A and B are shown apart, each in its own frame.
Chain A
Amino acid sequence: MSNNILKQIRTLAGLVSVLLFSVVLFAPSAALAVSTSNFQAGRIIDDDIFFNSATMNTAQIQAFLKAKLPDCDTNGSLSTSYRFVESNRAVNPQDGSGTTVTTTRALYGQRYDAYHGTSYASPPYTCLKSYIQDTPTMPAQSGLCNQYSGGIRSAADIIYRVGVACGINPQVLIVLLQKEQSLVTDTWPWGNQYSSATGFGCPDTAPCDSSFGGYFYQVYYAAHQFKLYQRDAGSFGYKAYRNNKILYSPAGETACGSSTVYIQNQATAGLYNYTPYQPNAATLAALEGQTVNCGAYGNLNFWRTFSNWFGSTIIGQQLSVVYKAQNGNELYAVWDGVKYYIPSYDIMIDWGLHRQAVNIISDQAMADLVTGPQLTNIAKMSDDPASPLFMFDDGKRYPIPENACAYKLDSSPNPETTWGLDCFNTNISKSYPKAFIENTTVQDITLPNMIAYQDSVWKLEGGKKRRIVDGLVVDVLGGWGNVRWMKDSNAQQPEGKILMRNGYAVRFTGSSQVYLYDNGRLYPVNTLETFIGWGLNKNLHDLQSSFNVKDPLPVDSPLGQMGSDGINYYVVDNDYKLPLANDTAQWPTDSAKYTPGMLSQIPSIPLSNVYLSSSSGQIFTVYGKKRYVFPTMNDFFKLGFNTNAIRRVSGQIENMPGLVYGGMHMSNGRLYKINDNPQIYMVNGSSSLRINSINYPGLDYANLITVDPLTGSRYPVSGTYTR
């Protein structure tokens, strides 16, 4: 044999040693998953699990029973050992006499029956997966069980139907069958195991009550009794939400002691009424199958078997995966023989591991575990190619949509990002086994765009978090159902601009300045008329000035009477808007503010052609960005205007920037003079005639008015009045 080959053999032998060593070390992780350190005497199982009858159907139960009982020794042909006294045919006599013999199970059963005068130990043996029984119909009982419809049914079907009728989780009944008589995994069950299948009516110190004997009645009355504990909770010894003294052993309090336990739910209270003992410290410390002095295993076995077969008995709390070496300071999540370092308490919270008990293992056992990546708050499932990225927070996992990432898959920046997460940075996001992630965390909705953090609700936008100061914005963004509480590590985005509805009037603490918020900008509101004109008096809110410090909203020039939604211009006044449509030549639009959000909330009324200023009382028209005033109502009527068309406006409109005075409207025949000039004129259509004598009869000298030169220029002199 060459040296190379010898080296290879040595290497192989070394590898085998490593494998074997690893196996030994991995073994505890299986047991640790149901470490008794997770057993809570006051909370053995949660109500929502115990009373959930929809966990398995008949086919699933049957498949489970088959899985747990692959082979049945129907004829008792396998061997078993027991003590036997040939002289009197005694089997396992109480005095310990006899010699140990090994025979078939069949012979053992026959000898047992013969010696004890029983008839349940002899073959053939029917395993649970093959058990069938003709069952009676059980009537409905208020608050307990609905009607159970009788018929010939399999053991699995009875479990399912009783579970549904009584509102008990069939998994609870399965575990009860195993806890009481090991029926689920027994390959040669005796008849007495079926007759006391769930232990109902079977006290420790007396024979079973035959009126509840038989598999069906055992299953039915056990379920019925747990409902009775629930309905008539006050009638039984162990009561939920109270301190209860619970013995450690049937041997009694004097011999084995007791402790007071606060029972946290009805299901646990029911279990203690059914089996009134708790495990003592020695029982909890013992390995499964070991017996200790004053040990009571019923409720511990219920918890252990349920956990092993159906997962955690506690909703929202998994069996602890958190480990620490005896002399180490680091905490790890351990799964399937791999340890994942928990780098911070924040990350621990993100994964919900802060709620789990810390298991202490030896330094050597910790050192020998395979080291996986440290836990991160963003990860995916390594053994699921279709796995999305998840964000973890408080034990929940949120699938991360692409738009939550700061970069796209091709590494280009994502300008539409919400959360700004560095999703594809492998230093930040890691991969962990699917089962580990699913067992440790609970799936939630796809990562929402709104979070609750530090007493505020925020919208994630552009990689920043924007404080929402207006509750209705939450509704607009999908409602409170889309808001999720987040812990520190997932809410570290820089603070962005505050967010509120368009049309909000805000005032920050320490200042009396009012602003209109619209479309991401603040417009100072400097006059009461503007404030009222835009209807802001109905919507004024005081905000902390600190909200607008880190990323302040841009402040525009002061709000006037003109707004724009980018399509149209509007004159805004008295909480309504007058759309200018295409008629922008008439009104000054230079000072219009881009306020589409606000404008959409203001009711619209048609543009008029004549206005009454509530400030000056003048009636005027607007044309070519000029204001033309009627000097008297007489001119108004004579020029063909109607009072129905008058639109009352504030003085702000009359005096708005860019709307200049254009002169007066005068009607035909109106006598006027310009300022102090004694010359009298008479309006003649769109021009004037000079009046050279005040003796002309028929002219309306009584209503002679004085006008400004601008008005005069509107009616140029075209001649002299003659009779």
Chain B
Amino acid sequence: MLCVAIFIYASRTNDTKKTGDPINKVNYGPPTETEKSAGDKQKDLNSSKESAIRSSQANGQYGKAQVVVVDANQYFENVEVRAYISNVYETGGTCSAQFTSDGSSITGNSSATKDATTTQCGSIVIPRTKFPSGGRWQLIVSYSSPTSMGVSSSQYFTLK
């Protein structure tokens, strides 16, 4: 029992030292149990993901684009909108930012391109001078391509 205790103590202490190693020092210690089992979990994840993709394609859900607006704000003399499409992966679509207020409507577009895992809208930059007035404006970003289409939820921001 004592041997077991000492062994466990030594392993734990060793673990502690590994994770507490100085900054920019490489931990050459053996993999932890979590790291050892990561490969098995990864295979399950991959398998589930592939099944889900097959399933969604079969159910025709693939065409509905989910537009995420990362930032829409006024930066000095420009209004800038940044967005991406989280569930579409393609190049060639178009993103449109539509601002409305009191019957006025301003629109800006950008071409969408593939990124690492999403489709990026590319910044939509509209000069402040194109807006007839300041105050509260509503924004909706939409995406359209030969295969997909979608709009973001609406949001408001105050133009100076």
Contacts and interface: CB of A to CB of B under 8 A. Distances in A.
B130 interface: no
A185 B88 CA distance: 31
B82 A185 contact: no
Interface string A1-32: 00000000000110110011011001101110
Contacts of B25: 310-311
Contact of B118 (A16, A112, A276): A276
B9 interface: yes
Interface of A: 12-13, 15-16, 19-20, 22-23, 26-27, 29-31, 33-34, 49, 55-56, 60, 63-64, 67-70, 80, 92, 94, 112, 116, 121, 171, 178, 181-190, 192-193, 196, 199-207, 209, 222, 225, 234-239, 242-247, 250, 252-254, 273-276, 288-289, 307-312, 318, 335-337, 435-436, 438-439
B47 A92 contact: yes
Contact of B34 (A235, A288, A309): A288
Q: Which of A33, A192, A236, A239 has the most CB of B within 10 A?
A: A236
B contact face: mostly helix, strand, loop, or mixed: mixed
Given A33-B16, A309-B27, A237 B121 contact: yes
Contacts of A188: 39
A513 B2 CA distance: 82
A308 B36 CA distance: 14
A359 to B, nearest CB: 13
A171 B23 CA distance: 13
A446 B55 CA distance: 65
A273 B120 contact: yes
A187 B39 contact: yes
A94 B19 contact: no
Q: Please list the 6 inter-chain residue pairs (A to B) with the smallest Cβ-Cβ separation, ordered nearest first.
A: A186-B39, A182-B38, A311-B23, A203-B89, A182-B42, A30-B16
Contact of A439 (B21, B27, B68, B117): B21
Contacts of B23: 311-312, 318, 439
10 contacts: A19-B5, A68-B35, A225-B115, A237-B82, A239-B70, A244-B82, A246-B70, A310-B25, A312-B23, A435-B17
B10 to A, nearest CB: 9
A311 B73 CA distance: 36
Interface in B10-54: 12-13, 15-31, 34-36, 38-44, 46-47, 49-53
Contact of B71 (A55, A206, A244, A439): A244
A23 B9 contact: yes
B71 A245 contact: yes
Given A309-B27, A435-B22, A243 B115 contact: no
Given A204-B49, A206-B62, A336-B17, 13 more contacts: A23-B8, A26-B16, A27-B12, A67-B28, A67-B29, A94-B51, A182-B41, A186-B38, A209-B89, A235-B122, A236-B115, A436-B20, A439-B21
B16 A56 contact: no
A16 B26 contact: no
Contacts of B88: 203, 205-206
Nearest to B43: A190
A64 B31 contact: no
Nearest to A234: B123
A275 B117 contact: yes
Contacts of B153: 253-254
A274 B15 CA distance: 31
B86 interface: yes
Interface in B90-143: 114-118, 120-123
Q: Which of B36, B53, B115 has the most CB of A within 10 A?
A: B115
A581 to B, nearest CB: 64
B30 A68 contact: yes
Contact of A94 (B34, B55, B66): B55
A187 B31 CA distance: 11
Nearest to A112: B47
B124 to A, nearest CB: 11
A186 B28 CA distance: 16
A209 B114 contact: yes
B20 A435 contact: yes
Interface residues of B, number: 68
B7 to A, nearest CB: 10
Q: Which of B1, B6, B39, B115 has the most CB of A within 10 A?
A: B39
B56 interface: yes
Contacts of B16: 26-27, 29-30, 33, 336-337
Nearest to A301: B38
B157 to A, nearest CB: 12
A546 B74 CA distance: 53
B149 interface: no
Contact of B36 (A27, A187, A309, A310): A187
Interface of B: 1-2, 5-6, 8-9, 12-13, 15-31, 34-36, 38-44, 46-47, 49-53, 55-56, 62, 66, 68-71, 73, 82-84, 86-89, 114-118, 120-123, 153
Contacts of B52: 205
Contact of A201 (B26, B36, B68, B114): B114
A436 B23 CA distance: 11
A205 B87 contact: yes
A207 B89 CA distance: 9
A49 B23 CA distance: 11
Nearest to A298: B117
B116 A56 contact: no
Contact of A34 (B19, B28, B68): B19
Given A26-B16, A209-B89, A250-B86, A243 B68 contact: no
A506 to B, nearest CB: 47
Nearest to B1: A16
A193 B2 contact: no
A275 B116 CA distance: 8
A543 B100 CA distance: 65
A60 B27 CA distance: 11
A716 to B, nearest CB: 95
Contact of A33 (B20, B46, B73, B120): B20
A116 B54 CA distance: 11
A402 B122 CA distance: 61
Contacts of B20: 29-30, 33, 335-336, 435-436, 439
A273 B115 CA distance: 8
A185 to B, nearest CB: 4
Nearest to B119: A203
Nearest to B87: A205
Contacts of B114: 201, 209
Contacts of B121: 237
Contacts of B82: 236-239, 244
A308 B27 contact: yes
Contacts of B8: 20, 23
Contacts of A92: 44, 47
Given A80-B40, A244-B70, A253-B153, A199 B116 contact: yes
Contact of A185 (B26, B36, B62): B36
A39 to B, nearest CB: 15
Contacts of A94: 51, 55
Contact of B39 (A49, A55, A189, A288): A189
A30 B15 contact: yes
Given A16-B5, A234-B123, A311-B24, A31 B117 contact: no
B117 A26 contact: no
